[in-house]
Amino acid sequence: MSGAFLRAATSPRIRIHLITALALVLLAIFAERLAPNDIYKTDYTMILKPPSAKFIMGTDYMGRCVFSRILCGTATTLKMTFSAVAIIFAFGTVVGVLAGWLGGTTDTLVMRLADIMLAFPGLILAIAIAGIMGGGLQNAILAIAAVTWPRYARLSRSLVMKERGSVYVDAARAAGTGQLAILVRHILPNVLSLMILSAVMDIGVVTMELAGLSYLGLGAQPPAPEWGLMLAGGKTYFQTAPWLLLAPALAIFIVIVIFNLLGDRLRDILDPRDLGTIAGERGLDS
């Protein structure tokens, strides 16, 4: 599996999706320079103006440029999403690998804790955790990470246990290779390929969940240009200024589609024999 992503990088089927995802990341990096107007500047003479040549997505209830806030919201949203996915990936993978490799009491404790976390609806539990910790970007990220890591732990554990019994591992042991060396050199490269795939496939889901927390007031706080927060602020004006809802909703939809398509293409290129493992472990959250 370690060569799967090398095949993916050179696959004509996936290049367009990689380029699109990279373009989105570059847009987030240079969003402030590309924004035509100040995202925090209020102009009460321009409140709720419809789309025009100057404001192509109209203005909001404080006279701010919606298009500029959508652009800068790309940076805010992707930063939140990538941070949450990175935390989930790192913590869940490390815990799962250790549980699968060490076995015994460690494995039992980790899996029982994961079972307890997975017994509750993920988003509902994240809302409860975020509510206890209080609003804010960091607390929203930690809340999503706290309810999502068990899936990664279960997946990485099952992959390690599968690889631990492989012939090449037995051969490495017979050659006198140490346990830590076997884990790092032989097992982890095969495990990480599928874990990275799972992380890519979760980017769209985490984006939607973080936007949901911000919509409920448990994520980003005003006046941050965050799409979920913009949805919450625009819901009151749906009949008089529908662009306040349509613009951030479309932005969220585009991000989800881009990374879901990228994840699907990566999944198609990987060894189909390993996809059942991913589908089974991810299905625990459905």
Which DSSP string corresponds to 35-47? Answer: -SS-SS---TTST
143 vs 190, higher pLDDT: 143
pLDDT confidence tier of residue 282, bands split at 50, 70 and 90: low
Question: Which domains does the chain possess?
Answer: 4-285 (1.10.3720.10)
pLDDT confidence tier of residue 10, bands split at 50, 70 and 90: low
First to last CA, the chain: 26
Please give the model's pTM, rounded to 2 decimal places. 0.86
Q: How far apart are CA 178 and CA 183, in angstroms?
A: 9
Number of C-beta neighbours around residue 5 at 10 A = 16
Q: 26-40, 184-198, 199-213, 264-278: which range is least confident on average? A: 264-278
For residues 265 and 5, the answer to whether their CB atoms sit within 8 Å is no
Measured in residues, the chain has a length of: 286
User: Could you give the angle at the alpha carbon of 201 between the alpha carbons of 68 and 196, nearest 5°?
Assistant: 110
Tell me the pLDDT of the chain averaged across its residues: 86
For residues 174 and 186, the answer to whether their CB atoms sit within 8 Å is no
Q: How far apart are CA 124 and CA 117, in angstroms?
A: 11
Identify any residues that bridge with 65 across adjacent strands, giving them in sequence order.
59
Write the CB contacts of 211 (distance below 8 Å, at least 6 apart in sequence). Answer: 77, 219, 226, 227, 228, 231, 252
136 vs 174, higher pLDDT: 136
Percent of the chain at pLDDT exceeding 70: 90
Which stretch, 16-20, 138-142, 276-280, has highest mean pLDDT? Answer: 138-142
Q: How far apart are CA 13 and CA 94, in angstroms?
A: 32
For residues 234 and 248, the answer to whether their CB atoms sit within 8 Å is yes
**Two tokens, residue 131:** 């509510």
For residues 140 and 218, the answer to whether their CB atoms sit within 8 Å is yes
